[in-house]
Amino acid sequence: MKSDRHAVTLLSLAALSLSASVLCAQTDSAGMVVSKRGLVISSSSIASDVGAGILRRGGNAVDAAVATAFALAVTYPGAGNIGGGGFMVVRLKSGTATTIDYRERAPLGSTQTMYLDANGKIDRKLTATGYLAPGVPGTVRGLALAHQRYGKLPWRDVVMPAAQLATKGFPLDSELARGLNREVAQAMKPYPASVAAYGKSTGSWQAGDTIVLTDLGRTLTAIATRGPEAFYKGWIADSIAAEMQRNGGLITKKDLAAYQAKERAPVRGQFHGYDIVTMPPPSSGGVAMVEMFNILSHFDLQRPGRWSPETLHLVIEAMRRAYVDRARYLGDPDFVKMPLARLTSAKYAAALASHIDRSKATSSVELGKDIVTPTSVATESDETTQFSIVDADGNAVSNTFTLEGGYGSHVVVRGAGFLLNNEMGDFNKKPGETNVQGDIGTAANLIAPGKRMLSSMSPTIVTKNGKLFMVTGSPGGRTIINTVMEVVLNATGFGMNAREAVDAPRLHHQWLPDVATFEHDALPDSTLARLRAMGHTVEQRGRQGDAHTIIFNAKTRTAYGANDRRSADSKASAP
């Protein structure tokens, strides 16, 4: 790594004034970027520009998605990745919609109780950092599958911009500079290759410094020139396997060679005349979201209004029911049988809705008493990343991918320069233990060799009368499903534009712990008091999610993009 602050400051000033002039020309009075030539919105301004550049060069939305994802692996290292996994929903202008599942898999050497200590307690350190935390990465295969099926430009052309960013370096913004300094001093410290990749040789990173990621550049160049095989069978696979073997990790060359991304049929639902196209298992997001919308369809939310205690109560009750079913039933479809048709049916939602008391909170423990056991504490982190893309023809991509926690396992593969995920923590780690703190121990999501861990990532596309309407998604662990549901609800049920739908306050309830959290100061105290009087435990929290959203006007063929201002460097870029 090296730094040359002065040159980069000039460079970034030039880039800033360029992007400012572009933005002025395109941002409307409501704060949305408006484009008829397509839009790319991500949490990294550089990555959004890379995606928009691909659209400008004649690439379609899938080409732009692949380029944006690889760029995020360079410029947004907390969550953008090639050492993790994720999900992509693609809707083509023809109306065909599909999904790409590139979720990580448990290594073949993993066991159901590998994260329990001698006393049978979950050892959370083992899934937080280090060599037992990663699942077999899926990102490179997933992006390659999407590109092979639906891309237009040569693979090399969509991967090389990221390789160049890593090799030539890019300027750090203040948030990333701060984040890297913190990581290098703390969580990455035990891993010399991580410190070598992301530390600054002298002193600490400042905004405007250039970071060069030489090894990552070489890895991305190999992927660009030789395709995904370079990652799964070539020297990169050798490097991962060697890193694991040296340090007691489980991923082998056999695991890597066997990894397949999968194209799966989307989960579909309806709300207020809109059609929702979203992610099936091994993400729980689509099923839970459709279940919530089906329940909410039974109530008139407009009359009391979006922010009334009555509506918020019904939304919480819908969330509670969808999340208990998530815990009861959902896992990897290649390993478990799930009643998906029933969970997403109108009949089932009607039965659930009929048991909601309009003035009183349901007890979560009562609702799930068949699966709840007493005991300990669980947490889930907030680092994943969403990007949303529409091209000039109206093809659309929603993609969410992650390393799980910020910077994943914190382990950089020596010589290959990329971070490995810590996604194994998304499995149910203790069979039979489902507790009021939020641990889940049900059978569907227990660890098994080769199995995909259950996710909440919910990339989503909404259509109306067969025409593209909306592209959205979010990070946020278990909050993801609710964030995405609320953004879609705001637009489809309450007519909000993309900016309003994204800026609106967010609420989260995940069945257990039995607590409704609201973003800080989002709602008046009187509203929270009414909810408490109904029996809800209500708390306030920091920001929830990062839901970059595009609403598409199919008549004028215009995309309206709202980056989520909850993330500092996010940007909607037009070609």
**Which residues contact ligand DON by CB under 6 A?**
381-384, 402, 404, 423, 426, 455-457, 475-477, 480
Residues 500 and 507: beta-carbon distance below 8 Å:
no
**Angle in degrees, CA 246, 250, 251, rounded to 5:** 95
Residues 470 and 497: beta-carbon distance below 8 Å:
no
Residue 116: strand, helix, or coil: strand
What share of residues in the chain are helix, strand, coil (percent, to 5)? 40, 15, 45
Choose between 34 and 440: whose C-beta lies nearer to ligand DON. 440
Query: Which residue among 129, 252, 344, 384 is the active-site one?
Result: 384
| Partners of 274 in the β-ladder | 271, 464
Choose between 200 and 478: whose C-beta lies nearer to ligand DON. 478
The token duo for 38 is: 């397509």
Q: How far apart are CA 85 and CA 105, in angstroms?
A: 9
Cis, bond preceding 282 (omega within 30 deg of 0): yes
Choose between 130 and 475: whose C-beta lies nearer to ligand DON. 475
Choose between 267 and 528: whose C-beta lies nearer to ligand DON. 267
**Shortest distance, position 87 Cβ to ligand DON, whole Å:** 9
**Shortest distance, position 488 Cβ to ligand DON, whole Å:** 18
The owner of tokens 């080769």 is 450
The token duo for 326 is: 């998530």
Choose between 376 and 381: whose C-beta lies nearer to ligand DON. 381
Q: How many CA atoms lie within 13 A of 111 on its CB side?
A: 4
**Shortest distance, position 331 Cβ to ligand DON, whole Å:** 13
400 included as an active-site residue = no
Residues 232 and 141: beta-carbon distance below 8 Å:
yes
Choose between 181 and 384: whose C-beta lies nearer to ligand DON. 384
Choose between 291 and 383: whose C-beta lies nearer to ligand DON. 383
**Alpha-helical regions (H) of 355-477:** 364-367
**Shortest distance, position 28 Cβ to ligand DON, whole Å:** 29
The token duo for 481 is: 């499903």
Q: How far apart are CA 79 and CA 201, in angstroms?
A: 23
Q: How far apart are CA 360 and CA 314, in angstroms?
A: 10
**Shortest distance, position 551 Cβ to ligand DON, whole Å:** 23
The token duo for 42 is: 């991500």
Q: How far apart are CA 20 and CA 33, in angstroms?
A: 12
The token duo for 449 is: 């060799």
Whole-number CA gyration radius for the chain: 22
**Shortest distance, position 370 Cβ to ligand DON, whole Å:** 24
**Shortest distance, position 420 Cβ to ligand DON, whole Å:** 14
**Angle in degrees, CA 61, 62, 65, rounded to 5:** 85
Q: Which residues are catalytic?
A: 384
